[in-house]
Each structure stands twice: as structure tokens, then as C-alpha cells.
Structure 1
């Protein structure tokens, strides 16, 4: 993503990052499919956070279990010997927020050039695009695309800048980098989504554009079944007024499902799979007995790879 790759820019010698994909409000907890029959990677990233899950992948089963035991003690905040739904839900939300905080920390250091605890639009613009601004992107192959990226960044910065002073506070800069996390950025998230998918520029999304954003068919290739499923989703659910297009309000209903709490769903799922005595809470023993669902290791990932390869044969 454009805004998440800005850390690769050093001074004025590195090219402007590529066009970002759209952002999603209430994003899922992992990019992996939630299919426990083939892999627990979704659960690992939901429970640990994406970065921490990578560190567990390098551990032995014994090391994973030992670290998981310490995590369970932290989750059990009331120290009653059980992990309740409320405690697990709070933990998962905490792990997801931590990723955002660390990401903002990293970029904050790069863009707060004068170290005054604020980031002005001019600081961001000059750090990101300064080398190209002098020549109006004349040395860039896709000149118009980069100019559009600059305009898009400026528009997003201005929306995130709630008080309109041209300077981003910590919270405002977080909204700029992660607009999907802030309700006051909702309209911008929808607008950017439509612009990304709407190829003919008519301000709405037709079925071809909707599918084309996810799948491009090759000559002679049969469409996967999931493509047909998505077509039905478009016609039966996404296109509420049945006019053959998704307008801004329909896109908002699609990507901003305000009633979906992925952390809540995952907490219920982990408890359902782990709670052996059906008391709607987990003991440390129950969690450690089902440790491979919560955390990964070299051994479990090797086994999951074997399972996937076997299924593909």
C-alpha cells in the first residue's frame, strides 16, 4: 500500500511508492482464509497479531506452549483462573490496535522532520514527493498517476486534519494512515473505494468492475466457483436497489459493516473450539491442550504445509 510503504522513501533519492489499494473499515483480523480444516494461521494472527505470529512460527512446540502460558496469565486480568469471553475479546482488540500504533510510530519518526511533535502537510509532501515536485514528475514514467497520487494524499490529509490548520496531530496522522479506523473518515474511505474500482469513471461500480477488482480471467480458463458466488453477492445483496450498479451508499453498506466485530466473532470461535466443559470460558489447561490453534511453531506449520500439499494432489 502506498501509505504503508512510505518508510522505504529516504530523502529524495527513492521513487514515489506505487498506487495503494483501497482501505476497508472493520478490516478482518488476518489476510488468511479462516479455514481450520487446513490451517490455523488466521487464528494465530488474530490472537497474536500479524507481526508476533511470525515470531512464533520460528519456535519449537515446547517454546510456543511456554510463551502461550505466559500470555494466558496476562489475558486473565481478574486472576480467577479462567479466560472469559470479555477478557479474550479485549485481548484480541488490543493486539490489533498495537499493529496500528507501531505502524504510526514508525512513520511519525520519518515525517516529523523538525521534531516538534506535529506533521505539517508540507513536511509530508516534501519528504514523499519533493524530488519530483520541482520538475512536476517529468522524470516519472507514469506522470499522471503520480500527480493523481499527490492529489489523493492531499485530499486525505485535509480530511484527517479535523481542525483544518494544515498540521496533523498524532491522532490526525493516524487517521491519515488508517482512515478505515475512524468514523469521521467514512465518506473518504467510500470515495477512495469507488475511485479504485470504477474504471470507466461514471462514479459507480458495475458488475464487470466489481469482479475485475478481484479476478482477471485467462484465455480458455474456467471461472472459479467463488467468482460465481461473488456475482450472486453483487446482484442479490450488494446492489440493493437492483439497478445494476453500486452507488456510494451501497458501497458504504458493503465495506463499512458497522455491526460486524471480527474480534468478538473470533473470541467466540476460540472459546467454542477450546471450552471442553461447556461453561463458556477457558481454563489455562484447556488452552494449552489446544495450543496449536492459538499459536504457531515450526512443527505445526510444517504439518499444515503437508496437509495443504496433500489436499492439492
Structure 2
């Protein structure tokens, strides 16, 4: 049947109206504080090759001071994190989870203790470290085209601006001849922050050149104690409102959250504040004096801190420990699979419970 022209126009108008409504709903439903690393754009991979990422796998806090909401899954799954997708086949995910449980359960008593979970967390964190090292080799080549093993700040600046859409040859020529670069204020601010980080990563004797190892510290400060300190100072600087270089609870929970326009957004904001308050009071503020110092935040951020790993193991066990024996059985991990893997397998587990 051939549709009339007027009818087609009406249908097109309805479609556009519905599309507009959908887009508006999506914007309002999305909290403003969601991590930028979740937004995958066609150009993001190229840019991320040379730009320090906001999100670092295996760290409890993002580079911008937000809590890493995927931390538990990252330190439980390691490289297998991407395999547990919400729309993937439940039976296959259940089998993977069972395999992981058997690896964590070192003494094969069909129960995971805090010590076993601690060992596993440390192992998965090291796995993230090795993955970052591997990626860094490729990223370093992108900014060291002449292959001399060193990158100057100006060389990096050219590549960074090129990734932002500037003409690489024109930028290189202007920098070479000390001519002014016409850069927008936002990009200039990012460059200034990157320059501070660049010189911080330049180990003594400072030569303003980064080798591959120093470039790794630049992109991944968790690999360097000195850079970890610098990262902590940046976070404290961004959150510290009274300039005392310490954080109070009110300062820690004052980051901008979602724009509250409906009850759903309000619930998201309330959950966000509640989560940050709990982390501040129960974990970061080690001496429970209501103040977080740079030293306390550094210990909290250190991914290879064994005490933190044990504390994290106990917290993870407490989430799913229904029989209160301070260990985890396979059935408990499966029931709380969304916490450990991001995939909800509980309903499926009820249907196949006899397989256990």
C-alpha cells in the first residue's frame, strides 16, 4: 500500500517528536557525576592514547575525585571484566563465576576467606598494572615518532593539540618559531595541568624529557609513589574549600552531582552522597577524627597497600555473607553476582539450583 504524502509528513513529525522526547529523558536521567570513561566516542581512543585517563582500573577513586563505582568488579574479575556483560548468556557467566571462585578458593574447602580474597585482589590489581604497562608501550610510540626513546614537552603538546582537532603541522611550526597559539581557554587550562603533571613525572636529574617509564608515570600515577602523591594533592586541591590541605566530610561530599529535576534524580543524588559519606567515615578517615589528610588519602589510593586489600576483602565478603561465617560460599557469590560482576544471575540461579 502506498502512503499519501501528507500522511508521511505526519508520521515523520511524530517520529521526530518521539525522538526529541527520548533524548530529553536520557539527558535528565543521567547524573552529572558519572565518569567520563563510560562515554565511548569514535575519537576517544585516539585521544586517550596520549591523555591521562580520568579512570584508572583497580583504584578506588577516579583522578577527578569521584569514587570508582566499578572498583569491586575490577579487583574481582581483572581482565575478565568485559566478558561479564548484562546481555550475555547467563549460563556462560555462571560457569565463569564458578571458575573464578575455584581460583580464589586456594585451599579448596569450597569457601573463600578474607585472606584468600586479599591475595586475589592483589593479584588482580597487579594484572591491571601489567595491562597499563603493555598499553603504555603502544601509547609511547604514538608520541615518540622518531623513536629516540625520549619525548619533549613540546613534542607531546603538538600531539595533544592534534588530537583535539588542531592542525599538527601548523602547531609544530608555531611552537618551533615561538609563535602564539590561538587556543580556547578550556584547552589551555588542560594543557597547564598536563604540564604540571609532565614535570612531576620527570625523574631527577630533570631534563624535561620523558622516557617510556616516566611516560607511564605521567599516564598512570599509580605506578609511581611520587606521582601518587601528586595525584592526591590535585584531588585535595580540587575538593579543599578552606585551603587547609585537608578534607572534611562536608568538603568530600560537596562535589556537583546530578541536576535534581525529578524524584529519580533525587534518589540518585541521595545514594551518591550516602556512598561518599560511608567511604569517608569508615575507610578513608583512618583515625576517625573527622578529617582526611593527604597522607590518609594517599594510603587509601595506594592500589598495592596490603592492609587496604585485606580491608576491602572483608567488606566484599560482608556484602554477601548471608550465613555470617565470615567466608563466602559459591551460592552467596552467585546470589550477589551483580556486586561482584555487574551481571545479575540470581533469578537464573534459582532455576538451576540443583546443579550446585
With normalisation by structure 2, the TM-score equals 0.54
Number of matched residues?
271
Q: Kindly indicate whether residue 98 of structure 2 is the aligned counterpart of residue 98 of structure 1.
A: no
1:149 corresponding residue in structure 2: 190
What's the RMSD between the two structures over aligned residues?
Answer: 5.2
Which of 159, 174, 196 is 1:127 aligned to?
Answer: 159
Residue 88 of structure 2 aligns to a residue whose secondary structure is coil
Q: Distance in 1 between matches of 2:191 and 2:54?
A: 15
Aligned to 1:265: 311
Query: Partners in 2 of 1:117 and 1:53 — Cα distance?
Result: 36
1:300 aligns with 2:329: no
Name the residue aligned to 1:36. Answer: none
1:179-234 Cα distance to aligned partner (Å, 9 max, x none): 2453222442243224434689x786898976653348779x9995976996xx79
Task: Note if 1:191 corresponds to 2:233.
Answer: yes
Give the 3 Å change call, closer, same or farther, for CA 224–157 of structure 1 in structure 2.
same
1:9: which partner in 2?
Answer: 47
What aligned pairs does 1:131-280 form with structure 2 within 5 A after superposition?
A: 131=168, 132=171, 134=174, 136-138=180-182, 140-142=183-185, 145-163=186-204, 164-197=206-239, 212-215=254-257, 250-254=293-297, 256-257=299-300, 261-272=307-318, 273-274=320-321, 278=325
Which ranges of structure 1 fall in alignment gaps of 5 or more residues? 33-40, 304-313
**C-alpha distance in structure 1 between counterparts of 2:347 and 2:324, whole Å:** 30
What is the match of residue 68 of structure 2?
31
Flag the 1:196–1:44 CA change in 2: closer, same or farther, 3 A: closer
The partner residue of 1:55 within 83, 87, 110 is 83
- TM-score, with structure 1 as normaliser: 0.59
Distance 2:48 2:223 in 1: 27
Match of 2:354 in 1: none
Alpha-carbon shift at residue 281 of structure 1 (Å): 5.1
Instruction: Name the SS for the 2:193 alignment partner.
Output: helix
Measured in 1, the distance between the counterparts of 2:273 and 2:322 equals 36
Aligned partners of 1:60 and 1:297 also within 8 Å: no
In the TM superposition, what whole-angstrom CA distance separates every residue of 1:265-287 from its partner, at most 9, and x where no partner exists?
A: 33224445358593x655xxx32
Distance 1:25 1:189, change over 3 A: farther
* Aligned twin of 2:118: 89
Distance in 2 of aligned mates of 1:215 and 1:10: 25
Structure 1 contact 26–261 (Cα < 8 Å) conserved: no
Runs of 4+ aligned residues of structure 1 deviating over 4 Å after TM superposition are 1-6, 19-26, 76-84, 114-117, 197-200, 202-212, 215-219, 221-230, 258-262, 274-277, 294-299
3-state SS in 2 of match to 1:290? helix
Higher helix content, 1 or 2: 2
| Structure of larger gyration radius | 2
Could you list the runs of 5+ residues in structure 2 that have no partner in the other structure?
1-34, 163-167, 349-356
**Equivalent-residue separation in structure 1 for 2:94 and 2:296 (angstroms):** 41
